[in-house]
Amino acid sequence: MGYDSSDLLAAQKGDANAQRRVFDRWYAYAYTVMIHYVPSRMEAEELTMDAFVRLFKKLDRYNPTYAFRPWFRRLIVNVALESLRGRMRERSTDCLPLRTVTNEAEHKLEREDIINLLNYLPVSYRLVFNLFVLEEYTHREIAEELGISIGTSKANLFMARTRLRKLHPHFHAIIKPEL
């Protein structure tokens, strides 16, 4: 479970100091996951805090015999999805307006560049792309999670990849091929 297993166990029992140590240890990780799902840093910070609130409410459900990181990642992604579900249905075709952006690393995308490119996708495309590529969900799992059909999931992934290729010609080289 890692070096902070005693903090997790104490936090499960409601120890506020242990909860603070868990927060300090896992905040950067949670924020990094969250920023892939939301369009702004401010929203990512807010939802990361929501994820920790949920973590401490549900920590009693965590089984310490399993790895904490994947369990917590799933919780973070669920917080992001719940926040974005309503917006996805309301604005399925909205996205940031395109504008010319100079990429300093002409032949290589940095993490920040990828996050910025993803923010140019409509919410529905970005969610499916993130769940499929980053979280390795199947199209069936994505469909169930988002309340859409498997065909819609596949179409959204295709459209996300198509738009990303148009936005950055080198981006397609790092996108995981669909199996």
At 157-167, the pLDDT tens digits run: 999 888 888 87
Could you give the CA distance from residue 36 to residue 162 in angstroms, rounded to a whole number?
Answer: 18
pLDDT value of position 86: 61
pLDDT, tens digit (0-9, with 9 covering 90-100), for 5-52: 788 889 988 899 999 999 999 999 999 999 988 878 899 999 999 999
Structure tokens at 25: 């240890």
Structure-model confidence comparison of residues 96 and 45, the more confident one: 45
As a three-state string, the secondary structure of 6-61 is HHHHHHHCCCHHHHHHHHHHHHHHHHHHHCCCCCCHHHHHHHHHHHHHHHHHHHHH
pLDDT value of position 106: 41
pLDDT, tens digit (0-9, with 9 covering 90-100), for 60-92: 898 888 899 999 999 999 999 888 876 655 554
Give me the residue spans of the domains in the chain: 5-89, 93-174
Q: Which residues contact 141 (CB under 8 A, 6 or more apart)?
A: 131
| pLDDT at residue 109 greater than cutoff 60 | no
Report which of 134, 125, 110 is spatially closest to residue 164, judged by C-alpha positions. Answer: 125
Compute the half-sphere exposure of residue 71: CA atoms within 13 Å on the CB side of its CA.
Answer: 16
| pLDDT at residue 103 greater than cutoff 70 | no
User: Domain 93-174 is of which CATH architecture?
Assistant: Orthogonal Bundle (1.10)
What end-to-end distance do the CA atoms of the chain give, in Å? 31
Looking up tokens 């973590």 gives 55
Q: Which residues contact 153 (CB under 8 A, 6 or more apart)?
A: 128, 132, 139, 142, 143, 146
In the structure, what pLDDT confidence band is assigned to residue 104 with cuts at 50, 70 and 90?
A: very low
Q: What is the pTM of this model?
A: 0.63
User: Domain 5-89 is of which CATH architecture?
Assistant: Orthogonal Bundle (1.10)
Most confident of 113-117, 131-135, 174-178: 131-135
